Amino acid sequence: MLRSFLLLLASLSSLLPESSTNASEPDLPNIVLLMGDDHGWDETGYNRHPHLITPNLDEMAATGLKMNRFYSAHPSCSPTRGSVLTGRHPNRYGTFSPGRSFRPEEITIAQLLKEQGYLCGHFGKWHVGPVKASSPTNPGNMGFDHWLSHDNFFELNPVLSKNGGPPKEFAGESSEIIVHAANRFIARAKRLGKPFFVVIWFGSPHEPYSGLPEDLALYDDIPEKYNHKTFRLTSNETGRPTTRPLGDILRERFAEITAMDRSIGTLREFLKKKALRDNTLLWYCGDNGTPGDGIVTSPLRGHKGQMYDGGIRVPGVIEWPAVIRRQVTSDVNAVTSDILPTLCEITGTALPNRPLDGISLKGLFDSTLTQRPSPIFFWQFNSKADQQNQPWIARPHQIGTTPLVKMMGDIYTRNFVNHKHPNIVESDYSGSRVILLQDYKLVVTGNGDAQKRELFKVPQDIAEEHNLATQNPDVVQSMAKSLRNWQESVLKSLTGADYK
Distances in Å between the Cα of 322 and the Cα atoms of 58, 269, 273, 387, 478 are: 19, 16, 16, 51, 42
Cβ-proximal residues to 142 (8 Å cutoff; 6+ apart), any chain = 85, 104, 106, 108, 110, 111
What average pLDDT does the chain have?
94
- DSSP run (H or E) holding 79: helix 77-86
Higher pLDDT, 4 or 151: 151
| Predicted pLDDT at 6 | 36
Q: Quick check: 18 pLDDT over 60?
A: no
Name the packing angle between helices 246-273 and 55-63 (round to 10°). 60
Backbone torsions φ then ψ of 267, nearest 5 degrees: -65, -45
Q: Which residues pair with 391 in a beta bridge?
A: 419
DSSP single-letter state for residue 402: S
Name the packing angle between helices 174-192 and 246-273 (round to 10°). 20
Pick from 156, 71, 141: which is nearest to 101 by CA? Answer: 141
| Predicted pLDDT at 386 | 87
Q: What domains lie within the chain, and their CATH numbers?
A: 30-372 (3.40.720.10), 379-393+422-499 (3.30.1120.10)
Count of residues making up the chain: 500
As a whole number, mean pLDDT of residues 437-452 equals 90
Q: What is the pLDDT of residues 101-128, one digit of tens each?
A: 999 999 999 999 999 999 999 999 999 9
- DSSP run (H or E) holding 196: strand 196-201
pTM over 0.85: yes
CB-count burial class (<10 Å; 0-12, 13-18, 19+) for 410:
exposed
Range list of β-strands (E), 315-414: 316-319, 328-330, 334-335, 376-379
Where is average pLDDT lowest: 5-14, 211-220, 449-458?
Answer: 5-14
**Sign of the C-alpha dihedral computed for residues 285, 147, 401 and 260 taken in this order:** negative
Q: What is the pLDDT of residues 374-433, one digit of tens each?
A: 999 999 999 888 889 999 999 999 999 999 999 988 899 999 999 999 999 999 999 999
Q: What is the pLDDT of residues 334-360, one digit of tens each?
A: 999 999 999 999 999 999 999 999 999
